[in-house]
Structure 1
């Protein structure tokens, strides 16, 4: 079935409180997607942001981002008073996330909320903590210890807690009990709102595609609590770190700094760490995009302390063995493989063996430097792939037309018959909608006709990334209707479905433009 999606980070939604959240604007965006005939909402990782404000350098592969908790919804539940957050400085630019302002203002507000949650809904909180204990206990203690040590990385902490010695952890639990309970409460609030939004999307016929970073951050609860899963020395420091060699994104390669996986040890215990990680993600999302898929075939190891990636070397990953174990444990998983970058025949074989759809990026198709762009021309796309104009790591369509080499842009304009009357960005989107790809995903910025100022991320750079936000009213009915017509033309409308009341929305928010009506005990999308 031919489908379509829109890539829109949750943080990029408008709100008066500094950042996009899981509340009313997210539900309104679901309504927009349903009206537009778009069946997939692709999001970036919803984990806490870490170094460089990046969702790919998180303190946890499991936890939810506290900044995404909607304050208005908390007020509607009686867990907050509007005056407790309306006067806080959330940043001065409604089109940019100010992470410093969020850090200064959000946690005091959440502490008041958690105190009320503990008093008014203790049973709900207890059930959540019991259900998520396998990761939540470690994460909450990790964050409490991080606060105690003024945010410093765990590998600089005193040996007792750094090495997770039982007696030291027991004392820390006792000393920091209140802070541990706070971080547990924050996660309860987050996942309550996430489940509500996910149910809302299901009821509208919209599937959420999540994003799983391949690596985890060194300064994370995951590495701190399970160092045996990573390539660390006797002092729990990485000998080599993750990155990639020079490619289309960077002439000197990229140093990511993540610890490398101890694949031999992981294989010995049946890849239990990965099975738990993927199973958890598939509880959250309907489709899971796994970043840096080629790392399962071979991964690039860079000596710790290196200034560039030039001294790195390729090593073998687990290959198809891991995915066979995942399928045995979890069944057939709805996974998308991010197979961009430096590819080899063995990576292509792994993708074919896995059966997962890979990714095609139209902006790569017109690279005239080495002749490799032809693989990304739309006529050559297999049906089993996800087609993009550009991803969150690429410029917007109009930004690319302004900044790419002249020859590349000239070729794109000729090949795609781009017409300013239609809008050159729309011409690029039309190319992937018309392609053979089963799924075509466009960035929201391209639908809005935005340039490089709205780019989400520029790899290998620090500062100015992950901050773009849309203006209020961006998801208009007129835009939805224009998109819907394109979905009709290119046969990407979802089928009309009967949705049982099991998927009824849990909140009383108005449906808006999604086109949902109630008839008896079913809901029909019209």
Structure 2
């Protein structure tokens, strides 16, 4: 039995919608009624996969690929209205829209009420929190201390803390635990509530036939709990500064390459302890998602190492990574690990060989298909059934925005390939995705809504204005939902029956 057959979400022809939870309309958090309403909308259209981006706590740039933790959940997604239903907040305490400071204060209030009421509640009430803390102790302790210290330093990076805190002196950390007991409880409580709401959402989706499709950034942020707590696993100097940083050479996303700035792994150290940090990370994600995309999969074959302090991504070099040994360890621990490989960009035979060795689905993006070559792997006739096909990803313009920005030659090639120019964009490209032999086809919600470039979520290589798009419920045209359902019915992507 091949790997995709072991994964229920890839066991039949399906369709999915790509939408990050931060793009939901809710002003008090996304993981309650807003997310349930979206799941109901997907089910109405016959869609059975909800794909999203990484859900960890972000820096000020709001990039989900630049998280403060590889394991923690983003407390900004917590639905504060659900805490009223739990009895931990009063409805009149809720603002119309919660700022980060409002949220921190309200979560602190909810935490205090939770801990004060524990003794009066049944054992199962207490056990759910205690079990969460115990089950996640491998990462939770470090994350909580990191976040408390970061807050007390007004958001300064851990490299700028005192030497004792930067270097994790045991006595200094014990003192923090004593002096910051309330803040430590609040941060633990935030993660407990995030996990509680997330698992409730996943159950709600399962009951309606919806699978959750997550995303793991291959790299982590330098200013993160993971790098602070595991400096030996990264290529850093004695003071914690990176020796080399991650990026990519020039490709179709950027003519000058991309300088991401993430510290690179010390794969020798990771291999020495059996990749325990990675295995823990994958274990956490499997509790949250039914499918998991590994972003920048080619980084498991070789990483583009750029000298630290040099802003020019073109000056990097490829350095080999023990990807085969790593993936063997992953599948030994998790035999049915539901991975999808992001194999976009500069992909050689070595990358595809590793992916095929472990029978991992890859990706194809229709927007990349119309360069005039019949051998282009993004065109329908070159798709593989076990790959995942997209009109565009979170890094692309919307399909309509892309189309309007193209020259007449590209537009003509696309319509010639489709065989008609009668159907408007983006529906003609969405139809092509649903026609694909690939078992899973994904379209961004912006395409379903027919949005132009104003709906773009992210432009790679830029640092401003990204990750802020969200829709309003009044933007949803039910005619679009019905039209999407018709495509799913026409091309055999409706939920399995029986």
Give the structure-1-normalised TM-score.
Answer: 0.88
The separation in 2 between residues aligned to 1:362 and 1:373, in whole angstroms, is 13
Match of 1:507 in 2: none
Is contact 1:51-1:58 (8 Å) kept? Answer: no
Do structure 1's residue 151 and structure 2's residue 155 form an aligned pair? yes
2:265 to 261, 281, 306: 261
Match of 1:190 in 2: 194
Do structure 1's residue 450 and structure 2's residue 451 form an aligned pair? yes
Match of 2:8 in 1: none
Is contact 1:418-1:428 (8 Å) kept? Answer: no
Is contact 2:27-2:96 (8 Å) kept? Answer: no
Match of 1:107 in 2: 104
Is contact 1:365-1:373 (8 Å) kept? Answer: no
Match of 2:138 in 1: 134
Match of 1:517 in 2: none
Is contact 1:22-1:194 (8 Å) kept? Answer: yes
Do structure 1's residue 322 and structure 2's residue 326 form an aligned pair? yes
The separation in 2 between residues aligned to 1:72 and 1:304, in whole angstroms, is 44
Do structure 1's residue 66 and structure 2's residue 75 form an aligned pair? yes
Is contact 1:4-1:40 (8 Å) kept? Answer: yes
Match of 1:7 in 2: 18
2:31 to 22, 31, 46: 22
The separation in 2 between residues aligned to 1:82 and 1:452, in whole angstroms, is 38
Closer, same or farther: CA 150–389 of 1 in aligned 2, 3 Å: same
1:202 to 193, 196, 206: 206
The separation in 2 between residues aligned to 1:87 and 1:32, in whole angstroms, is 25
Match of 1:385 in 2: 387
Instruction: Could you tell me which runs of 5 or more consecutive residues in structure 1 were left unpaired when the two chains were aligned.
Output: 91-101, 498-526
The separation in 2 between residues aligned to 1:222 and 1:372, in whole angstroms, is 45
Deviations 1:193-215 (A, max 9, x none): 00100000011111000111100
Match of 2:4 in 1: none
1:474 deviates by: 4.2
1:332 deviates by: 2.4
Is contact 2:218-2:296 (8 Å) kept? Answer: yes
Q: In the comparison of the two structures, how many residue pairs are matched? A: 480
Match of 2:288 in 1: 284
Closer, same or farther: CA 287–77 of 1 in aligned 2, 3 Å: same
Instruction: Could you tell me which runs of 5 or more consecutive residues in structure 2 were left unpaired when the two chains were aligned.
Output: 1-11, 120-125
The separation in 2 between residues aligned to 1:253 and 1:372, in whole angstroms, is 27
Do structure 1's residue 241 and structure 2's residue 255 form an aligned pair? no
Closer, same or farther: CA 44–373 of 1 in aligned 2, 3 Å: farther
Is contact 1:255-1:308 (8 Å) kept? Answer: yes
Is contact 2:425-2:450 (8 Å) kept? Answer: no
Match of 2:438 in 1: 437
Q: Helix, strand or coil: the match of 1:376?
A: coil
1:407 deviates by: 2.4
Deviations 1:337-365 (A, max 9, x none): 00001111101111111201000000000
Q: CA RMSD in A?
A: 1.6
1:120 to 114, 117, 121: 117
